[in-house]
């Protein structure tokens, strides 16, 4: 049984489609919430009146650590913040996607880990779930910046797991295919979203990995590719 009762869960990118789903599922499982993003729509505060809303720019190295202040120990860190860009070739002389993808997918992750992992190690417990991508398992035309940045997320997940598993901290990642979000539907109007991953289904997997039920899982890269049938 998945249970997050008594745990404090920090969700980054909490204003996005997946972040909202993870926050809702974590709350339903009994977690106290710390929600971090650049800003929040009014309905997020309405749905989680007891949550701490941290309006910060996660690309800034010290922003999260400063915002957490005296919030207390974090038991589960769900690193949802990230982004996607497609179309730029690997040899593009401008390389705007490259810088942007590493900033939003890698820097935000590293800054979150720096703010939270020392506390988890000190308390001898904690769970971290990062969001990778199935696309990052091999190179893709027009997606080199995104694929490279998400590949780094996978390697950080494995390395961090090896560093802290003996300190009571679990570190894993989910590898979704296309997530069924309003933005993806708008970008791919001719696609069949029934074959995509729903945010709620992905949130279930993420919250499982953040629970004590997954305490024996370390450094896993878990594919989440949607329902069959």
* CATH of residue 25: 3.40.50.720
In a domain, 124, yes or no: yes
Q: Which position has the higher pLDDT, 165 or 182?
A: 165
- pLDDT confidence bin for 164, thresholds 50/70/90: very high
Pairing of strands 76-79, 126-131: parallel
229 pLDDT band (50/70/90 cuts)?
Answer: low
Q: Is the pLDDT of residue 84 over 90?
A: no
- Span 90-107, pLDDT tens digits: 777 777 888 999 999 999
pLDDT of residue 197: 94
Please check the confidence at residue 87 and state whether its pLDDT lies above 80: no
Task: Find the mean pLDDT for residues 72-101.
Answer: 86
Domain residues for the domain of 149 are 8-224
Let me know if residue 2 belongs to a domain.
no
Give domain status of residue 208, yes or no: yes
Contact present, 198 and 24 (Cβ < 8 Å): no
24-69 per-position pLDDT tens digit: 999 999 999 999 999 999 999 899 999 999 999 999 999 999 999 8
Q: Report if residue 147 sits inside a domain.
A: yes
Whether residue 167 is predicted with pLDDT greater than 70 in this model: the reply is: yes
Element (H, E) at 14: none
Q: Give the Å distances, CA to CA, from 47 to 40, 125, 129, 130, 163.
A: 12, 28, 23, 24, 36
In a domain, 3, yes or no: no
Question: Is 174 inside any structural domain?
Answer: yes
- Percentage with pLDDT > 70 across the chain: 99
101, part of any domain? yes
Q: Does residue 139 register a pLDDT over 90?
A: no
Residue 138 lies in a domain: yes
Q: What is the pLDDT of residue 180?
A: 86
Mean pLDDT of the chain: 93
Distance CA 143, CA 139 (A): 8
In this predicted structure, what is the pLDDT of residue 228?
Answer: 66
Q: Is there a contact between 161 and 171 (Cβ–Cβ < 8 Å)?
A: yes
Report the pLDDT value the prediction gives residue 212, as an integer from 0 to 100.
96
Query: How many domains are contained in the chain?
Result: 1
The pLDDT, as a whole number, for residue 111 is: 97
| 3-class DSSP assignment, residue 200 | helix
* Among 2, 17, 1, 26, residue whose Cα is nearest residue 197: 17
Average pLDDT over residues 154-178: 97
Output the pLDDT for position 86: 75
């Amino acid at each position: 049984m998945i249970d997050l009762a008594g745990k404090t869960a920090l969700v980054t990118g909490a204003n996005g489609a997946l972040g909202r789903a993870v926050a809702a599922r974590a709350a339903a499982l009994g977690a106290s919430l710390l929600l971090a993003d650049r800003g929040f729509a009014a309905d997020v505060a309405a749905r989680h009146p007891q949550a701490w809303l941290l309006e910060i720019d996660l690309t800034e190295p010290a922003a999260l650590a400063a915002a957490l202040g005296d919030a207390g120990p974090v038991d589960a860190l769900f690193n949802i913040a990230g982004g996607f860009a497609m179309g730029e070739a690997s040899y593009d002389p401008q390389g705007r996607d490259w810088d942007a993808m590493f900033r939003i997918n890698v820097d935000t992750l590293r800054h979150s880990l720096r703010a939270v992992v020392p506390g988890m190690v000190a308390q001898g417990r904690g769970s971290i779930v990062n969001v990778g991508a199935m696309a990052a398992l091999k190179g893709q035309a027009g997606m080199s910046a995104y694929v490279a940045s998400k590949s780094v997320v996978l390697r950080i997940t494995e390395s961090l797991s090896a560093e802290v598993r003996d300190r009571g901290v679990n570190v894993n990642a989910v590898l979704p295919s296309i997530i069924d979000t309003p933005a993806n539907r708008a970008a791919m109007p001719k696609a069949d979203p029934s074959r995509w991953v729903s945010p709620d289904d992905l949130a279930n997997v993420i919250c499982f990995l953040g629970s004590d039920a997954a305490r024996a899982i370390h450094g896993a890269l878990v594919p989440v590719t949607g329902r069959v049938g």
